[in-house]
Amino acid sequence: MSRFFSEKYKSLTPYTPGEQPKDMQYVKLNTNESPFPPCPAVVKAAEDAAKTLQLYPDPDCRDLVQTLASRYAVDTDEILLTNGSDEILNFAFMAFCDDKHPIVFPDITYGFYPVFAKINHIPYEEIPLRDDFSIDVNDYTGVNKNIVIANPNAPTGMTLSPDEIGRIAASNPDNVVIVDEAYVDFGADSAVRLTKKYDNLLVTQTFSKSRSLAGGRLGYGIGSKALIADLNTIKYSTNPYNINRMTAAAGIAAIQNDDYFMSNCRTIAENREKTAQALKALGFRVLPSRSNFLFAESDSIDGGTLYMKLKERGVLIRHFTLERIKNFNRITIGSAEQMDVLLSKIKEILEETA
Ligand code: PMP
């Protein structure tokens, strides 16, 4: 730390992204990326856009907003595009939370929420998940605080129904309810249509997972016109050109080729179910996931050891040290071939440690 670092950030512990080691070629199942590359039309759109990189991008992303608005049957002023969905989440914390408007979220959820709260000096409260790692909706009804819920939740993969999200939004009319749908396309039900009914509901989604654009950094929020206007105030006060030309072009092409991406999501969901069955057959407890990852633990091997032994064998998965989940690992669902490698390495490790 330099002697110039501001007092207000000195105690900040930053978010730790999943590791990206370069020492060998890993089967990478640790950051919930898609195993499938973007389709050729998306790559071509980004290439073409690169030819005009001397120009600033459109700060309003009008073509992309229009394309997304048609896809989700909402108005163009009900959408805001951001540099990954992390950016819109941060904007929402900045825009709607402060000393008098604290935020609540589950104790086991996306690790960035407490970081967004801390960097913006927002008081927050963590509500424990039930013993089975599900969210008890009653914990969020009438709490009279802002709320952020990942749905599907991460790293559990478990979901709430749109009815349950509606109950939460309806019972906290004077607070903003943020539903982070980063993983919704892998089999969960979206709350997007409820944004027409509840003016306090903000749904965030991303192109990173289901549309194979983690490297492009493109996310968005859908909500009432007034919520989106506030988020735009934050955007235009920090980084008006937050979406570069190549990413905007890739995003439009991705929506135009939605069948390709949604078919990949179905393949990933199938691979997820097969992998869950195989892990259960090996004695693992696997939480019921509707996302592109599984969260699993075994009585035969401790979570940290399994993570390390897989890494030694060239397979990366994600281990968290948080007490309540330290025996678990989060395993991204990849191609059928990647899942075969994972399962054969796990078998090898279990045999070796038996
Ligand atoms: N929400 C959740 C629950 C996530 O796991 C992630 C990915 N780390 C994000 C949001 C942000 O993803 P991105 O910024 O790539 O859209």
Residue type for position 189: D
Token pair listed for 298 = 């075994």
pTM: 0.98
User: Is 1 a member of any domain?
Assistant: no
CA distance linking residue 281 with residue 59, whole number of Å: 51
**230 and 295 inside one domain:** no
Q: Tens of pLDDT along the chain (354 residues)?
A: 999 999 999 999 999 898 889 888 999 999 999 999 999 999 999 999 999 999 999 999 999 999 999 999 999 999 999 999 999 999 999 999 999 999 999 999 999 999 999 999 999 999 999 999 999 999 999 999 999 999 999 999 999 999 999 999 999 999 999 999 999 999 999 999 999 999 999 999 999 999 999 999 999 999 999 999 999 999 999 999 999 999 999 999 999 999 999 999 999 999 999 999 999 999 999 999 999 999 999 999 999 999 999 999 999 999 999 999 999 999 999 999 999 999 999 999 999 988
Verify that 266 and 326 share a domain, yes or no: yes
Query: Could you tell me if the CB of 216 is within 6 A of ligand 1?
Result: no
Q: Which atom of ligand 1 is nearest to the CA of 153?
A: 3
CB of residue 155 inside a 6 A radius of ligand 1: no
Considering the domain architecture, whether residues 18 and 95 belong to the same structural domain is answered as no
Q: Indicate whether 89 and 155 sit together in one domain.
A: yes
Residue 298: strand pairing partners: 284
Q: Which of 108, 110, 247 to mutate to test the pocket of ligand 1 (most atoms within 8 A of CB)?
A: 110
Q: How many domains does the chain have?
A: 2
Judge whether 278 lies within some domain.
yes
The alpha carbon of 265 and the centre of ligand 1 are apart by a number of angstroms equal to 17
Largest CA distance in the chain: 61
Query: Is 153 a member of any domain?
Result: yes
Domain identity same for 196 and 80: yes
Q: Can you tell me the distance from the alpha carbon of 324 to that of 242, in angstroms, rounded to the nearest whole number?
A: 37
Helices of type H across 125-219? 162-171
Domain of residue 17, residue span: 7-37+259-353
- Under a CB-based contact definition with an 8 Å cutoff, are residues 275 and 339 in contact? yes
Q: Identify the CATH number of the domain in which residue 219 sits.
A: 3.40.640.10
**Is the CB of 207 inside a 6 Å radius of any atom of ligand 1?**
no
Q: Are residues 253 and 285 in the same domain?
A: no
- How far is it, in rounded angstroms, from Cα 345 to Cα 354? 14
Q: Is the CB of 84 within 6 Å of ligand 1?
A: yes
Contact of 72 with 222, CB cutoff 8 Å: yes
Residue 15 and residue 160 in one domain:
no
